[in-house]
Structure 1
């Protein structure tokens, strides 16, 4: 039987980021991925590092701020290890909202016109956010390469079929043989619902990749839609939010409605050519907060979870990796983990 110090079940951006964090701390790590690494929500996302988004739950502020402070180093680490570019595509956003949130300054019509001519703010407030965006397909191509270059064993097409607690560790039965691990971390995204006590579920999001010969160098976002420039006249438009299980079919009616919402926000995008469409599965918990921390209730410190990041997985990956390493190594935690504890749903049901 093969062995590893720490097994990570799930090879999306959360699992791979954690693997890099742990190996940098001197731990031996093996990642088990049922399909292809970074090929689900990791690659389907829009890539906005929206740590200042006032629509985010207040409980996310600490984790999002920590993660944003780590993102540049994380991106550069991935580039250095992989030899592949993961560039920043935009560095600010304009958010359109029904009301101006406290602490934000409303943008003037002149400021908006200088950046996004034609933006429709009728009856609403608009304000600038200093936030970056990256391209998830670029990150998803580079991250598995970086992980392997760091000396991490990444086993793709290897599903975990059973896990058994033993006196000498945890036996992991996979489709390609059994392993013995000292600790296991579940980073299974939308598939976390298969674990007892973790009420995570998929939320489908359909998206558009479009081309338009019209300059724009900032993200445009409203409660209904976002438009993310990718450079070279390409844009990502998203996204639907659907409770559709694991269905990833794309429907033309939904795509046309999404494009219409984008055109209502920024009319020039109504002339865009649709290049491709896709759907991803966001992992979400009942309270829309991540599920992070120890899974076992006997203080063994053997099993952990880092799932259900919903619409902020790309942003929160480095911060989650840091927090989970601190958990695993028994260090002082960088953020208060109380809102994210794995047993909070069981606790709420008996109160």
Structure 2
């Protein structure tokens, strides 16, 4: 893993809070997600950066050195960004930070903003597994607009300075299998037919997707065989297309490269998509809503199975918009 600026901010948040749980609340992350990030950072650095105890965390000798360097780097970077921002404003260009859950909506949202914004903009996009983290970035003015996801029972928190509006109140979650899989010939797959299949999941997704998968499988009479983990979409697609495992899939994802995407009978898993924006950013409410809807409607035909589902469920369509 390559060390990134966001990792430095994570380290400082943990050091300043003196506790992983307190830092997670500050960053808008779940504690397991932050703990997993911290372990990966320490692995990348090659040494423990914090001593853990019942009272919290304290920097190790290596950690104190890294934290000192991190503060210097971030201070210099903030100064550089401030200068660049002023230069961009002087040239009549507005910088817009866009975020979304991983998937096809990421690029579409950036393109829609580029087309609809009343002026010249420079768009910076980030695909982030954690909707909690994106809300934290929006609240800290390090992101301007984002599409976030929410599963029932894993509600996103209210964040000061951030507003949200429904984009798609109900979107079914589909399943991806190799095109050589026996179930690839089916137009709809029963969840129970996947009882003996190994699954691959993203361990950084903290929206509740994996928890819902477990619950729905248990309701169908079996425990899912979660045997593989991947944080990169390309790695997960490769594993599925090779026949190694199956995975959940976004309904708007495209098929191809050895992989097919099918609906689950009865829509046992669904998610909600919201558009969120910073109250003090360059993207106001009307533009955030219009860009998000425009981006999403450009995706509903990507998967024929979802196009049929969408046509049969007008109640979930954005109000005032046609598909």
* TM-score normalised by structure 1 residue count: 0.24
By relative contact order (CA 8 Å, sep 6+), the higher-ranking structure is 1
* TM-score normalised by structure 2 residue count: 0.25
Higher strand share: 1
